A and B are shown apart, each in its own frame.
Chain A
């Protein structure tokens, strides 16, 4: 059992017992820190088996696993519409998109596993309500237009966040993000096209589209996280080259893109205070309800309980299948080694 060959090793586990060993460990730690600092200064990449500060490992593990959970929980609001998609083409697109999200969760869990945490533990934390995921998925997908708004606004915001993460200082995370960003390029476009089609459809369809944009706009802006002066971890993450831009910077950039695109849609953003600040050369938006954000984050959103229950149910219902496949593999292996022994004898 040496999967750990490719994994990074938490420092506390490598601490030896004897004094000699601990001296050796201290030296290793000092060398490791020097290497880590150099990598950061050169804007190079840390790989799993490099020495890294515990806080860096913990931050990464938290961020990557939350990101993975978000992909997995994020499947639900959209899976909710697969069976009712109003055309077969849309059904195929939606299926492929939700399927992609499972894949993205998988890539990210794999990246997190290189930090020494196994997927089962992360899943257990998620369904026990101990782990966080993006709050946006605790809002309900009420109409078909929500498939458009989620693709356009939610995936749009996610891509804004994720593109800089392709250059995150932790190699496996960056590589996972490259793959994810490539695949996601169609997600936002399909959402945009759903809204475009609706806004050029009947008045009722257009109303449906506007309503969805109205509901998803503010939660999408809040996906970038709290304002910079209320985001204590941001500075450290930026120093570690995990985060490349601040929450507010990314949010402002995103608003600028949406302002352009909403015009093409023939819809409006539910925010009368959007303006381009000539002085700062940045887009500004109206106030966001951060109390609501905190409430949803604390578990008091419209769908928190439902989302977790659904994940738990799938995981529990699948237990016997996972066990069966494992048991089958073990039996096969035992049989094989028996045969080998017989030959040897």
Chain B
């Protein structure tokens, strides 16, 4: 009944996205939103489609693998009532022109994102650590197979 993969389980590795974004709280109960609109620095929440009466079709983010061997890449978003329909809508919307061989859909509210305000503390450290890159090691230049 599901020729296009298990509709209920979009992709097991979708959780990787959560792992890579340590700053945000992954689960927020609806009650929390009301009591504390400010969850953390820059993590302010506004009311969205998914909790507005009249539209219970939540927002989903779509990731498409364009061919085997490549990563899934964010393609866009869409609305769907559940994961099964989100996958199908994604297939109809984002692969009409052969753009993909595999699709992930993730509820937009399941994605935790790093805080743009802490850009400095988050992304400063790698700067200047040239020794992590092969080009730092100039003396071995010209030596074969190195």
Contact, chains A and B (beta carbon distance below 8 A): yes
Question: B-contacting residues of A (Cβ < 8 Å)?
Answer: 1-7, 9-10, 13-14, 16, 28, 31-32, 47, 49-51, 99-100, 103, 106-107, 110, 113, 116, 118-121, 175-176, 179, 183, 322-323, 325-330, 332
B38→A5 contact, CB < 8 A: no
Please measure, in the bound complex, the distance between the C-alpha atom of A1 and the C-alpha atom of B117, giving whole angstroms: 21
A113→B76 contact, CB < 8 A: no
Known A-B contacts A13-B37, A106-B93; the reply to A325 vs B52 at CB < 8 A is no
Please measure, in the bound complex, the distance between the C-alpha atom of A110 and the C-alpha atom of B124, giving whole angstroms: 31
Return the chain B residue nearest A328 by Cβ. Answer: B81
- 10 more contacts with CB within 8 A, not counting A2-B45, A3-B108, A106-B93, are A5-B24, A5-B111, A5-B113, A31-B117, A49-B115, A51-B116, A51-B117, A107-B76, A116-B46, A327-B56
Known A-B contacts A119-B49, A326-B56; the reply to A3 vs B44 at CB < 8 A is no
Please measure, in the bound complex, the distance between the C-alpha atom of A341 and the C-alpha atom of B58, giving whole angstroms: 25
Q: Which of B33, B52, B76 contacts A118 (CB 8 A)?
A: B52
| 0 or 1 for each of B88-102: is its CB under 8 Å from A? (1 = yes) | 000001001100000
Is B30 located at the chain interface by the 8 A CB criterion?
A: yes
Taking CB atoms, residues of chain A closer than 8 Å to B45 are 1-2, 4, 9
B50→A3 contact, CB < 8 A: yes
Q: How far is the CB of A92 from chain B (nearest CB, A)?
A: 13
Taking CB atoms, residues of chain A closer than 8 Å to B9 are none
Is B135 located at the chain interface by the 8 A CB criterion?
A: no
A329→B112 contact, CB < 8 A: no
Identify which of residues 44-86 in chain B touch chain A, using a CB-to-CB cut-off of 8 Å: 44-46, 48-52, 54-59, 61, 76-79, 81-82, 85
Taking CB atoms, residues of chain B closer than 8 Å to A13 are 37, 44, 46
Taking CB atoms, residues of chain B closer than 8 Å to A119 are 49, 55, 79
Return the chain B residue nearest A102 by Cβ. Answer: B93
Residues of B within 8 A of A (CB-CB), count: 44
Please measure, in the bound complex, the distance between the C-alpha atom of A51 and the C-alpha atom of B119, giving whole angstroms: 12
Among B28, B45, B97, B107, find the residue whose CB has the most chain A CB atoms closer than 10 A: B45
Q: How far is the CB of A200 from chain B (nearest CB, A)?
A: 30
Show 14 A/B contacts (Cβ-Cβ < 8 Å), sorted by A: A1-B109, A6-B111, A6-B113, A13-B44, A28-B42, A28-B117, A31-B117, A32-B117, A51-B117, A113-B48, A120-B55, A322-B81, A325-B85, A328-B81
Please measure, in the bound complex, the distance between the C-alpha atom of A50 and the C-alpha atom of B93, giving whole angstroms: 28
Taking CB atoms, residues of chain B closer than 8 Å to A2 are 24-25, 28, 45, 109-112
Known A-B contacts A119-B79, A322-B57; the reply to A5 vs B116 at CB < 8 A is no
Return the chain A residue nearest B43 by Cβ. Answer: A5
Please measure, in the bound complex, the distance between the C-alpha atom of A179 and the C-alpha atom of B93, giving whole angstroms: 12
B76→A110 contact, CB < 8 A: yes
Taking CB atoms, residues of chain B closer than 8 Å to A47 are 116
B58→A3 contact, CB < 8 A: yes
Please measure, in the bound complex, the distance between the C-alpha atom of A50 and the C-alpha atom of B113, giving whole angstroms: 12
Taking CB atoms, residues of chain A closer than 8 Å to B85 are 325
Taking CB atoms, residues of chain B closer than 8 Å to A99 are 96
Taking CB atoms, residues of chain B closer than 8 Å to A113 are 48-49, 59, 77
Taking CB atoms, residues of chain A closer than 8 Å to B96 are 99-100, 103
Please measure, in the bound complex, the distance between the C-alpha atom of A328 and the C-alpha atom of B117, giving whole angstroms: 39
Please measure, in the bound complex, the distance between the C-alpha atom of A325 and the C-alpha atom of B85, giving whole angstroms: 9
Known A-B contacts A5-B24, A5-B112, A106-B93; the reply to A330 vs B56 at CB < 8 A is yes
Taking CB atoms, residues of chain B closer than 8 Å to A121 are 52
Among B48, B58, B61, B85, find the residue whose CB has the most chain A CB atoms closer than 10 A: B48
Q: How far is the CB of B47 from chain A (nearest CB, A)?
A: 8
